Amino acid sequence: MNPKKLKKLKKQLKTRRSTPITNEYINRLERYRELFKDNSSIVFLINQILESDRLIRQNLLPQQLPLLELPEDIQDQIFNNIQSIYPMGDPRGDQLWEQLTTELPKLDKLLRSYRDYLEESYGMWAYISAPFINDLARFLSHKPVLEIMAGNGYISRGLRAKGQTVFTTDSLDWTKENETGRHLVTEVEKLDALSAIEKYQGQVEFVIMSWSPDGVPIDVEVLEKLRSLPKQPLLICIGEKNGATNSHAFWQKAELIDDERTKQLNSHYQPFDLIHDQVYLVK
């Protein structure tokens, strides 16, 4: 996909976030699973989302997701499936072809909207899976860590379940206007990012900052604060470089560590939609 087209699609994705997504999202997916039951590629993608949602709804961390995009040859697959059921020229096959191909763009948009559903239903912005938490806990190796701007606390909850010492903080200002903020998944201390660093400096070796708001310079202030400390913790940043998260100034100032540790942290943190967020080690 060329850069201009990708930028346009990401802009459309941001625009759609202003439209509320309800449980009807899951109901629609279930209907599409029945409609496309003869296409294993589509059923697989839908089942991945439904299972992910089921686990999160049960207060469990979900599995890693595949890329939630329809295969490029999906129309060929559908045509071949229909041909195996109805002979060429059978009006029933023509009618089914028309029905399925008409629904494909709607299904494609639905698959791409799963992140929107997670944000609005659970307050999960970065997709935190069980395999990723396993990798992160292994990297931290039980050394104390501070999470700032923790949101609902999915990362901290996962790490705490692994016996990791985590100081989980967030200003919680956003909870006044956001329904999902009333459903924290772990204990979160009410502290803004800079105050949290000031309080826990010297006690932690790592600071986690996930999905810092796009264009808001708090991330630069965090970076400068950490660099001013006598003992500088390593910053673990989850976001999309020069994309959907963080300020432009942050990505300019951040000194990214690109080594085997970074690769291991990203082994189970892979894009599933147009947002290509990753785990970065920053000093």
The pLDDT value recorded for residue 17 is 45
Residues 97 and 182 in one domain: no
CA distances from 116 to 50, 63, 82, 174, 192 (A): 15, 18, 33, 17, 25
| CATH classification of the domain holding 238 | 3.40.50.150
The pLDDT value recorded for residue 16 is 46
- Residue 26: domain span: 3-122
Full-model pTM:
0.88
Helices 40-57 and 24-35, interaxial angle, to 10°? 150
CA distances from 77 to 49, 82, 214, 236 (A): 21, 9, 39, 42
Residues 157 and 234 in one domain: yes
Residues 163 and 260 in one domain: yes
Residues 145 and 229 in one domain: yes
Residues 104 and 142 in one domain: no
Q: Please compute, for residue 130, the number of CA atoms within 13 A of its CA located in the half-sphere on the CB side.
A: 9
Q: Where a domain ends, among 92, 122, 152?
A: 122
Q: Which position has the token pair 């059978």? A: 90
Per-residue tokens: 119: 């944000």
Q: Where a domain ends, among 122, 144, 163?
A: 122
Which residue type sits at 8? K
In tens digits, the chain (283 residues) has pLDDT values of: 444 444 445 444 444 443 345 689 999 999 999 999 999 999 999 999 999 999 999 999 999 999 999 999 999 999 999 999 999 889 999 999 999 999 999 999 999 999 999 999 999 999 999 999 999 999 999 999 999 999 999 999 999 999 999 999 999 987 666 655 567 999 999 999 999 999 999 999 999 999 999 999 999 999 999 999 999 999 999 999 999 999 999 999 999 999 999 999 999 999 999 999 999 999 9
Residues 266 and 135 in one domain: yes
Residues 272 and 216 in one domain: yes
Residues 89 and 68 in one domain: yes
Long-range contact pairs involving 10-13 (C-beta distance under 8 Å, separation at least 24): 10/243, 10/244, 10/274, 10/275, 13/112, 13/116, 13/273, 13/274, 13/275
Structural domain total, the chain: 2
Sequence-separated (6 or more) residues with CB below 8 Å from residue 59: 185
Decide: 208 and 157 in contact? Cβ < 8 Å: no
Residues 95 and 171 in one domain: no
- The span from the CA of 10 to the CA of 6, in Å, is 6
Residues 99 and 137 in one domain: no
Residues 53 and 187 in one domain: no
The pLDDT value recorded for residue 6 is 45
Residues 175 and 222 in one domain: yes
- The span from the CA of 61 to the CA of 70, in Å, is 25
Q: Where a domain ends, among 93, 122, 151?
A: 122
- The span from the CA of 60 to the CA of 250, in Å, is 32
